[in-house]
């Protein structure tokens, strides 16, 4: 595998290998601190980010490598009209590996056609976010001890939430998975995601608008933000933005060993009072993101 555009580019064996590598990095960070000496990672972020960009940069630094890039399309020559293809063709001459986020679905595919260096999709519009999914899988493995036999509740903006689309695809390949899809009517999981992964694999699922009604049956509750930047009008966003708020009262109904995940950033959908609940795993999840990205960089650069 040269690039990571879609989580389905990785086999289950490769995902397992990345998770095991990340666990070894967590246990033995000193073993890895020179692995990418003299290597450079470029982070090309045409859309805002905190976790993905900074965890990629921290990952490369902890591997002994260097980073370059931009965090705002407005400070790059995209502002002057340069295409993604040209940007990547040029940056491929400066860096050994590129992590790119772009508001247009499919932009990383175009990028991969215009350079020989590995391209990592760090989120493309409302489409996919494969490295968030690797983060999520490592989190589930670390917190639950398994990736199978799980009932996964996905709550919030399932329409535009790219992390949800990639997670559904990834989890559809494990056994004993059930999905509970919790969203307003307008923000339901796109039918192409449901058809391609859930229905195709005969995975049991239910759809509901009520989070309270399903709290007690969920092993993993994956909360998501309503994606304001993907809405065509502000009125719809304002009407839907507070559809679900996870608070301590709702957490009382959850299993003792449930975990609450969120790709972050959080806006209002999880009350801060939930943060001190041991089942709230979203800040640990963000930290796991650095380790799995270290494992991914090593794999794509073919460093042992």
* Integer Rg of the chain from CA: 19
In whole angstroms, give the CA distance from residue 234 to residue 241. Answer: 10
**For residues 126 and 263, which CB has a smaller minimum distance to ligand CP in the complex?**
263
Cα angle at 122 between 187 and 300, to 5 degrees? Answer: 140
> What minimum distance in Å lies between the beta carbon of 131 and ligand CP?
8
**For residues 203 and 269, which CB has a smaller minimum distance to ligand CP in the complex?**
269
Residue 49 lies near ligand CP (rule: CB under 6 A): yes
Residue 267 lies near ligand CP (rule: CB under 6 A): no
Residues carrying an active site annotation: 51-52, 80, 101, 129
> What minimum distance in Å lies between the beta carbon of 53 and ligand CP?
6
**For residues 250 and 293, which CB has a smaller minimum distance to ligand CP in the complex?**
293
Residue 50 lies near ligand CP (rule: CB under 6 A): yes
Residue 264 lies near ligand CP (rule: CB under 6 A): yes
Peptide bond into 190 cis (omega under 30): no
In whole angstroms, give the CA distance from residue 190 to residue 127. Answer: 10
**For residues 103 and 190, which CB has a smaller minimum distance to ligand CP in the complex?**
103
Residue 265 lies near ligand CP (rule: CB under 6 A): yes
CB atoms closer than 10 angstroms to residue 171: 27
Range list of H helices, the chain = 12-27, 51-62, 84-91, 107-112, 130-144, 162-171, 191-193, 234-240, 248-251, 282-300
> What minimum distance in Å lies between the beta carbon of 170 and ligand CP?
15
Residue 51 lies near ligand CP (rule: CB under 6 A): yes
Residue 263 lies near ligand CP (rule: CB under 6 A): yes
In whole angstroms, give the CA distance from residue 47 to residue 84. Answer: 13
Residue 132 lies near ligand CP (rule: CB under 6 A): yes
Q: What residue ranges bind ligand CP (CB under 6 A)?
A: 49-52, 123, 132, 263-265
């Amino acid at each position: 595998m040269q690039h990571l555009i879609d989580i389905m580019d990785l086999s289950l064996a490769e995902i397992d290998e990345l998770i095991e590598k990340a666990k070894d990095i967590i246990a033995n960070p000193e073993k890895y601190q020179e692995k990418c000496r003299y290597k450079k990672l470029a982070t090309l972020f045409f859309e805002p980010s905190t976790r993905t960009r900074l965890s990629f940069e921290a990952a490369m630094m902890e591997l002994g490598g260097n980073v370059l890039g931009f965090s705002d399309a407005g400070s790059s020559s995209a502002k002057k009209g340069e295409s993604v293809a040209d940007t990547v063709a040029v940056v491929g001459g400066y860096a050994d590996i590129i992590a790119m986020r772009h508001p247009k679905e499919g932009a990383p595919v175009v990028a991969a056609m215009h350079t020989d260096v590995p391209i990592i999709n760090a989120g493309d519009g409302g489409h996919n976010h494969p490295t968030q999914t690797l983060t999520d899988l490592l989190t589930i493995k670390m917190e639950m001890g398994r990736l199978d036999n799980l009932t996964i509740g996905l709550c919030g903006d399932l329409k535009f939430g790219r992390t949800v689309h990639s997670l559904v695809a990834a989890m559809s390949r494990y056994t004993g998975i059930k999905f509970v899809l919790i969203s307003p009517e307008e923000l339901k999981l796109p039918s192409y995601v449901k058809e391609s992964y859930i229905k195709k694999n005969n995975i049991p699922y239910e759809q509901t608008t009520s989070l309270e009604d399903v709290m007690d049956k969920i092993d993993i509750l994956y909360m998501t933000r309503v994606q304001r930047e993907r809405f065509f009008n502000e009125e719809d966003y304002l009407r839907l933005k507070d559809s679900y708020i996870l608070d301590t009262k709702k957490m009382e109904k959850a299993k003792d060993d449930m975990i609450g995940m969120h790709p972050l950033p959080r806006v209002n959908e999880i009350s801060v009072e939930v943060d001190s609940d041991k089942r709230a795993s979203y800040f640990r999840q963000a930290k796991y993101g650095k380790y799995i990205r270290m494992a991914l960089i090593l794999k794509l650069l073919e460093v042992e």
